[in-house]
Amino acid sequence: MALFSRAEYLERIADTKVAMADKGIELLVVCDPANMNYLTGYDGWSFYVPQAVLVVDDQEEPVWIGRQMDVNGARHTAFLSPDNMKGYPEDYIQTTVKHPMNYMGDLIKERGWGQKAVGVETDAYYYTARSDGALKQTLGRSEFIDANLLVNWVRLVKSDAEIGMMEQAGKIAEKVMATALSNLAPGRRECDAVAAVYQAQMTGTPEFGGDYPAIVPMMPTGEKTSAPHLTWTDDPYKPDQAVNLELAACRNRYHCPIARTAYIGTTPPEKLNTLAAITVDGLNLTLDAITPGMTGEDVEKIWRKHIARHGFEKESRIGYSMGLNYPPDWGEHTASLRPGDKTVLAPNMTFHMILGMWMDDFGFECSESFRVTDTGARTFADFERKLFIIE
């Protein structure tokens, strides 16, 4: 059974068709797994083979197309009627002579949609150069309309039901961060601390379990804090070092990222204490200042002014829209909290605001996932904001 109501999926599809019409698209080929889920409910670890959802201007329901063995998974999770879930045979898998996109092109023609104006997600992770070429070949086209991020932008404002999922993820995120902090100790291997974090992510709460986040836990320490995307090792945590905890919880593919910094040892350097206090103050006052109607750049400006008063600056963005997603990223690649972003904040937009301050040889970060409410911003997790001391 699909996670949300048929009415909710149809509303999402209607919104997508409006965005399609704006670009002159009559048939949209959606390959981003999060967008496929958003439009149909389909949820499975099958995105390692080509699959797509077709949204057609004059059809109420989209068509899900995937590997034949995954049609049962679509029946379990998508709201679609049986005729709109189509599987391609095994002989399309991992061969040089044909490609699943050839099958999809043939299906488009069979259904009489061969002359429609086609849009594709040109930069979606799993829409490869060969996928694009095979679909063009079968449909006899040299160009498609670029529909990159089209559905991502439709996803920007969440429904109340989606917010409910993110609130559950927020409850799990509190447990995940508490577990991480209680597993930091000098001599404990990084892999063992990460193992405990994973355990907390999946077991969730007694009321609801967790799902796999789109990014693995990041818990670097020492000089590795300057290499933000290295994963863990067997090395033991050392005393008198800071640890960055970039974590998340996930509920039915909806995320709540959360980041904190901890210091293993009784006496953090004074400069770290100072940076932590300034950063936490900035997070607090920026969150407090948010109201619907502000733009992404307005939000960033509040933070920027605050740290400038303390003699700091930060180059990169301080937040981004997020929610439903699959590996390798939970970010939606749409609205950001950064200079130049004119997105007007509206209720039920959801962001991860992450304030990472990196000096030459130390740093501090603290983040919150929040939704825009009718009057302000409300975080999904409730977790103390400070430099945590692990004695």
Q: Which of 41, 170, 204, 319 binds its own copies (CB under 8 A)?
A: 204
| Closer residue to its own copies in complex, CB, 26/190 | 190
Q: How far apart are CA 66 and CA 139, in angstroms?
A: 18
3-state class (DSSP) for residue 92:
helix
Q: Which of 39, 108, 200, 262 binds its own copies (CB under 8 A)?
A: 200
Q: Which of 194, 256, 283, 322 binds its own copies (CB under 8 A)?
A: 194
- For residues 175 and 200, the answer to whether their CB atoms sit within 8 Å is yes
| Closer residue to its own copies in complex, CB, 331/379 | 331
For residue 358, the minimal CB distance to its own copies (Å) is 9
What is the maximal distance between C-alpha atoms in the chain? Answer: 71
| Closer residue to its own copies in complex, CB, 46/284 | 46
**Residue range at the interface with its own copies (CB under 8 A); choices 17-25, 91-99, 290-298, 372-380:** 91-99
If binding is defined by CB under 8 A, does position 190 make contact with its own copies?
yes
If binding is defined by CB under 8 A, does position 1 make contact with its own copies?
no
| Region for residue 171 given its phi and psi (left: phi exceeds 0; alpha: psi -120 to 50; beta: otherwise) | alpha
Site track 10-39 with its own copies (rule: CB under 8 A), x = hit: ------------------------------
Q: How far apart are CA 386 and CA 344, in angstroms?
A: 30
For residue 384, the minimal CB distance to its own copies (Å) is 25
Backbone torsions φ then ψ of 303, nearest 5 degrees: -60, -45
Q: How far apart are CA 46 and CA 33, in angstroms?
A: 9
Q: Which of 224, 304, 352, 385 binds its own copies (CB under 8 A)?
A: 224
Q: How far apart are CA 273 and CA 275, in angstroms?
A: 6
Site track 112-141 with its own copies (rule: CB under 8 A), x = hit: --------x-xxxxxxxxxxxx--------
Site track 249-278 with its own copies (rule: CB under 8 A), x = hit: ------------------------------
Q: How many residues does the chain have?
A: 391
Q: Which of 84, 253, 287, 288 is nearest to 158 (CA)?
A: 253
Q: How far apart are CA 87 and CA 225, in angstroms?
A: 45
- For residues 23 and 178, the answer to whether their CB atoms sit within 8 Å is no
Q: Which of 145, 185, 195, 390 binds its own copies (CB under 8 A)?
A: 195
If binding is defined by CB under 8 A, does position 156 make contact with its own copies?
no
162: enclosing H helix or E strand: helix 160-182
| Closer residue to its own copies in complex, CB, 210/379 | 210
Residues 6+ apart with CB under 8 A from 38: 12, 151, 154, 155, 324
Interface with its own copies in residues 308-367 (CB under 8 A): 315-316, 327-329, 333, 336
- CA atoms within 13 Å, Cβ hemisphere of 9: 24
Q: Which of 128, 151, 161 is nearest to 51 (CA)?
A: 128
For residue 44, the minimal CB distance to its own copies (Å) is 4
Q: Which of 212, 298, 301, 376 binds its own copies (CB under 8 A)?
A: 212
Q: Which of 27, 180, 218, 276 binds its own copies (CB under 8 A)?
A: 218
Total residues at interface with its own copies (CB under 8 A): 71
Q: How far apart are CA 358 and CA 212, in angstroms?
A: 29
| Closer residue to its own copies in complex, CB, 327/347 | 327
Q: How far apart are CA 228 and CA 26, in angstroms?
A: 41
| Closer residue to its own copies in complex, CB, 194/287 | 194
Q: Which of 5, 115, 182, 226 binds its own copies (CB under 8 A)?
A: 226
